[in-house]
A and B are shown apart, each in its own frame.
Chain A
Amino acid sequence: MEQFSIVGKDVPRNDAVAKARGAAVYTDDMTLPGMLFGKILRSPVPHARIINIDTSKAKALPGVKSVITGKDIPKVKYGNWRLFADTQDEYALAMDKVRFIGDEVAAVAAVDKETAQEAVELIDVEYEELEGLYDVDATTKEGAPAIHDYCPGNVSVNRKIEYGDVEKGFGESDYIREDTFEVHAVSHAYLEPCSALAQLDLDGRITLWTSTQVPYIVQCLLASTLGMRENDVRVVKPFVGGGFGGKMELRTWEFCAAFMSKQTGRPVKFTLSREEEFLTGRRRHPMTLHSKVGFKKDGTLVAKDLRIVLDGGAYNAMGPTATFLCGNFGAMLYRYPNYRFHGQHAYTNKPPASAMRGFGAPQSLYASEIQMNMAAEALGIDPVEMRLKNAQVSGDKIPDVATISSCGFKESIEAVARMSDWKRRRKELKPGQGIGIGCYSFISGGVFNWFNTQYPFSAAEVRAFSDGTVHLLSMASDIGQGCDTAMKQMLAEELGLQMKDIRITTADTATTPQADLGAWGSRVTLMVGNAVLDAARKIKEQLFGALSARLNANVVYEMECKNGMVQPKGRPKKAIPFGDVVAMVQKSKRGEPLIAHGYYTPRDKGLVTPAFGFGAQIALVEVDRETGKVEVEQMWTAHDCGTVINPKGVEGQLAGSIQMGLGYALSEQFVMQDGKTLNTNFLDYKMPTAMDMPPSAVEHIDTYEPEGPLGAKECGEGLASPTAPAISDAVYHATGYRCKDLPITPEKILNSMEEGA
């Protein structure tokens, strides 16, 4: 492993002190002079035509400054898949139809929150109700009414993958199994509800401060929906209280804040309530997965046929990507010589599902990991051995997708088996106890350019100053995951500086270099990291040139930046302070500031990602046979994220993933009735608390990713996948209940135990 001085160290987060003091400003914390408060009117019915909207009473209410409906705004559809315009299926406000309970119908801006609320209640909407379709069987049935006119049949995305010869593979298999899995919707449940504040600048530009993971995407889509040019819109990301995929699209309130600020000339702020977040918010895709897998007697995988239907809810949102990725995740992790996938994304009259941490992987991998365990049992092979036998290794090719570069998967499986004492523990379980394994692999950013950007995927600007400080500018979005700190660490490492020497400005589309696609798909560390290093290396080139000239050094000497100095490699006696060399460069260019730009766009990296993270997890559970309650007693995790930039940051990501995975497996679910979300608060939507967290041990597998910055790659998102299958497998060993429809509830366990008895 390379020796680093700052990378790999537990430096505190860049923003930790501000957050600890309560001084970090999030969007809803902001107030501007003359600011108006916005409120959205949402559809109370799941599927209807809008016959008439009467806003006259609302408009007449004193203190109301603006009331808008679909009629008042430009008729421009938007959606993240700009590359395929026909997937863009949303208007900021309903034009003629509503498609789910919570669909946005009108918006009000008023002098205070109470007046805005009152005005919203004064809007009269006349609906002609249509049949509501709540599951994919109903919407994809012959003759089902179309939820979107453009899409009869209600399947908005079809994706197929095929390689090898699947039928031949099944013919050659000794053991074939076919299962259907149902996985459910869960909420991102970020603690900060969405909020957006817009202001019209003096020169006609709109500035939008918003709780987003994707300032650049919001800038572009907002401009197009307002009928403005991209750079007539400025999007700034203040501190963001978590996203997990739920804040990566242009949303209605962002549009309305901007539109109404333009219309009224006053700043307008919208902040969602928790109830709105639960009732109408984005969620993880529920899916039905039919999976057929064939193995040789010795456990070798031969073929897989995977069919998935995603319940997308009323709009595409990030569903096309989820459909696309599910197919790839279905064939990741292990060697599948023959593979076929068909994914369908179907509309229903429910709140749209979208991107959420893991993005198709938790669903796909739940099916494949459980099947792996079932097959292992049937073939009499230890599930750990079975995985080692089929595990992907460095150099493996996934057709069309990628060649696996660094890969610590086998090492992860071996480590986690060792840490948990797997072999012995499995033999010595107490009654009611069970132990199970789940694994994952995940992308380090996406290659597919669905947003159709003309910019590099990531960019960075580095400005070096003669006082020894450096300013890093990037559009990357820290939403809590800690990328600002990781970027600073990488830059400090590369330039031989300290954290305190680096100032950082991020996520402002008017001042940070264009562009960055945002914080999703675990892309930031690898992609922005590479852009930062590219800029840093250009700065170094100039410093080295100046130093070389000053020392009249032999041209064969290599130079380095180290300990705040610039010097010929290994010759600290010749070192000159960093800032002094910056001044030398400037003087040699008659005062021109020392600035460099760095970029990263993955090229020639297949269709999906430049690099994969890997890992394995084991759960030990105890199930109360009377009540069916599952207690997770211990988790062991070993994972490969390449170079660890910040160990505490990585461990925090991992613990957070376990919290989410625990909720996904055991406690979190939306209770729905006729398209309506019934549990709209944290009391009824049960997220794990500090009391529910099991002790957990972690091992980082030491690998170096050649495509990653200083060897780093994905961390913290792939880990959203293994927890549910590991717990599920452990529950099976404890009770005999094999969960094929998440979540695992006490009722399901008790029912199955009764049947078994």
Chain B
Amino acid sequence: MKHPIELKINGDIYSLAVDPWRTLNEVLREDLHLTGTKLGCGSGDCGACTVLVDGRSVSSCLTLALEVQGKEIQTVEGLAPSGDTLHPIQEAFVEKGAIQCGFCTSGMEMSAAYLLSQNSSPTEQEIREGLSGHLCRCTGYIQIVDAISDAAQKMKQS
């Protein structure tokens, strides 16, 4: 039996009917075509599916769509303020070479957003810890860590 739900994603309200076993990741990607959120493992181990729910980073592959009714969901599509301006985190990822294949990128950015919302000037070690639930096979993480600390500085200045 499908349940009617309302999801608030990036400020927009979506009314849908979903089976109770479907994950937030499936609903985002398959029903709403918000495909910036990726699926790398489906078991909570890679971080590629990370989104923010009420400001906290969660694995959308482990979260049921029904659980997040009425909550504020933010995906990578909601990070940039507009079509021609990037969020400082995205800007730093672009500039610092933190993106290669890009499959881990949106998840990394969402966790970075959460991290910086909790700690506006994290040390390198704190950034690494903040990323410890994320896997990247391309970059060796160095430029990602670099980008996040750069973004932290930019965000503090503005």
Contact = CB atoms under 8 A, between A and B. Distances in A.
Interface of A: 10, 12-13, 15-26, 28-29, 31, 188-193, 239-242, 244, 273-274, 479-482, 648-649, 651-652, 654-660, 681-683, 687, 689-691, 693, 696
A191 B36 contact: no
A630 to B, nearest CB: 18
Main secondary structure of the interface of A (DSSP, over half): loop
B35 A20 contact: no
Contacts of A681: 41, 43, 45
Interface string B77-92: 1011000001000110
A21 B76 contact: yes
B100 interface: yes
A657 B37 CA distance: 26
Residue among A17, A191, A239 having the largest count of chain B Cβ atoms under 10 Å: A191
6 contacts: A21-B77, A189-B135, A241-B103, A480-B103, A652-B142, A690-B136
Give 6 nearest A-B pairs by CB, closest first: A22-B36, A480-B101, A655-B140, A241-B103, A19-B102, A648-B97
Given A22-B106, A26-B103, A193-B40, 11 more contacts: A20-B94, A21-B79, A22-B36, A25-B35, A239-B101, A241-B38, A274-B41, A648-B96, A649-B97, A683-B43, A693-B142
Contacts of A240: 101
A16 B99 CA distance: 6
A690 B132 contact: yes
B109 A20 contact: yes
Contacts of B101: 190-192, 239-242, 479-480
A727 B29 CA distance: 42
A204 to B, nearest CB: 29
Contact of A690 (B95, B96, B134): B134
A690 B141 contact: yes
Given A651-B97, A681-B43, A480 B134 contact: no
B115 to A, nearest CB: 12
Contact of B143 (A29, A188, A479, A651): A651
Contact of A482 (B75, B100, B136): B100
A18 B138 CA distance: 17
A565 to B, nearest CB: 29
Interface of B: 29-30, 33, 35-43, 45-46, 48, 75-77, 79-80, 86, 90-91, 93-97, 99-106, 109, 127-129, 131-132, 134-145
B131 A689 contact: yes
Given A22-B75, A656-B139, A693-B142, A15 B39 contact: no
A22 B76 contact: yes
Contacts of A29: 29, 35
Contacts of B37: 22
A659 B137 contact: yes
B48 to A, nearest CB: 6
Contact of A689 (B41, B138, B141): B141
A191 B136 contact: yes
B128 A690 contact: yes
Contact of A24 (B94, B102, B128, B139): B102
B141 A12 contact: no
A652 B138 contact: yes
B105 A655 contact: no
Nearest to B80: A21
B75 A690 contact: no
B75 A656 contact: no
Given A20-B94, A28-B39, A193-B40, A691 B129 contact: yes
Contacts of A682: 41, 43, 45-46, 135
A13 B76 contact: no
B28 to A, nearest CB: 11
B7 to A, nearest CB: 17
Contacts of A24: 102
Nearest to B97: A648
Contact of B94 (A17, A193, A479, A696): A17
- Most interface-central of B38, B45, B101, B109 (chain A CB within 10 A): B101
B35 A693 contact: no
B114 to A, nearest CB: 15
